[in-house]
Amino acid sequence: MADYHFVYKDVEGASTQWDDIQRRLGNLPPKPEPFKPAPFSPADDPDLAPKSKAWIDDRTPAELDELEDDPELDDDRFLQEYRKRRLAEMREVAKVARFGSVMPISGSDFVREVSQAPADVWVVVLLYKDSIQDCGLLLCCLEELATKYPATKFVKIISTECIPNYPDRNLPTILVYNNGAVKGTYVGLHQFGSRRCTPEAVALALCQSDPVLNDGQTGSSSTEGIIRGVQKRFIEKFVADHEEKEDDDYSD
């Protein structure tokens, strides 16, 4: 026969008269205080927290869009204007940062990624083959430029996938596109300083006639920025070479 045990549980914190007498006599420990939740504060709920500049800075673009008709912001013209300005800044940053690397494409991607690119986007296309050393030299330069100018689109494609039977002697080749049309063609490395080519030399060649490189900073001139970069690197190299020569002389 099964043995059943029943346990009676009273309301939490309840006590019998006998227990109360024993506690007064010191025979039982004091009765624990009943649990009470902390008072609710709007700060505990992010949706109810007071709106501020810092609060807006923590929101995503989608969340800022949803706040357009928020009654609390409607009553605060400054915060409503700050929301609009912050949203515009975030969208501009997202627009600028849409590229930033040399993207590999195939022949079937060419029309979509290059010919049909938006009219305001310059596209630099590298025709290459891995087996050709000069292609690797130029690719290194383009990879550095892609990080400096994230609003310019850089892609690379195996030469014969882009143009059937394209001769290897013409590699590497750069094609510059804008608004669906070819704006420039660069065959080989001689226009970039041959095998001593640098990212700055490539950048200067690309921007000789058109503002191909774009860092996304409104009002800035790509060519002027590139020239300043070349000058800075030349000075840094000159100083480094001079210091290295002095160290060699000292060690002798």
The pLDDT, as a whole number, for residue 161 is 95
**Would you say 165 and 153 are in contact if contact means Cβ atoms under 8 Å apart?**
no
Verify that 157 and 175 share a domain, yes or no: yes
DSSP H helices, 75-210, are 77-96, 110, 133-148, 159-162, 199-206
- pLDDT confidence band for 251 (50 / 70 / 90): low
Q: Which of 63, 96, 129 is the last residue of a domain?
A: 96
Q: Answer yes or no: is 179 within a domain.
A: yes
Q: 105 — phi, psi (to 5°)?
A: -130, 165
The pLDDT, as a whole number, for residue 30 is 79
Higher pLDDT, 26 or 49: 26
DSSP 8-state code for residue 68 = G
Verify that 88 and 111 share a domain, yes or no: no
Verify that 183 and 110 share a domain, yes or no: yes
CATH value at residue 161: 3.40.30.10
What are the pLDDT digits (tens) for 112-134? Answer: 999 999 888 999 999 999 999 99
Residue numbers of the domain that contains 82: 47-96
Verify that 128 and 216 share a domain, yes or no: yes
Greatest mean pLDDT range, 11-25, 31-45, 88-102, 114-128: 114-128
What are the pLDDT digits (tens) for 58-76? Answer: 677 677 666 666 666 555 6
The model carries a pTM of 0.58
Q: Answer yes or no: is 36 within a domain.
A: no
Alpha carbon of residue 239 to chain centroid:
33
Verify that 189 and 83 share a domain, yes or no: no
Residue 170 CB contacts under 8 Å (≥ 6 apart), including other chains: 127, 159, 187, 188
- The lowest-confidence range among 41-45, 61-65, 199-203, 231-235 is 41-45
What the block records as the tokens of 245 is 């020569």
Q: Answer yes or no: is 120 within a domain.
A: yes
Verify that 88 and 106 share a domain, yes or no: no
Q: Whose CA is closest to 150, among 85, 79, 95, 206?
A: 95
Mean pLDDT of the chain: 78
Domain count, the chain: 2
Q: Answer yes or no: is 223 within a domain.
A: yes
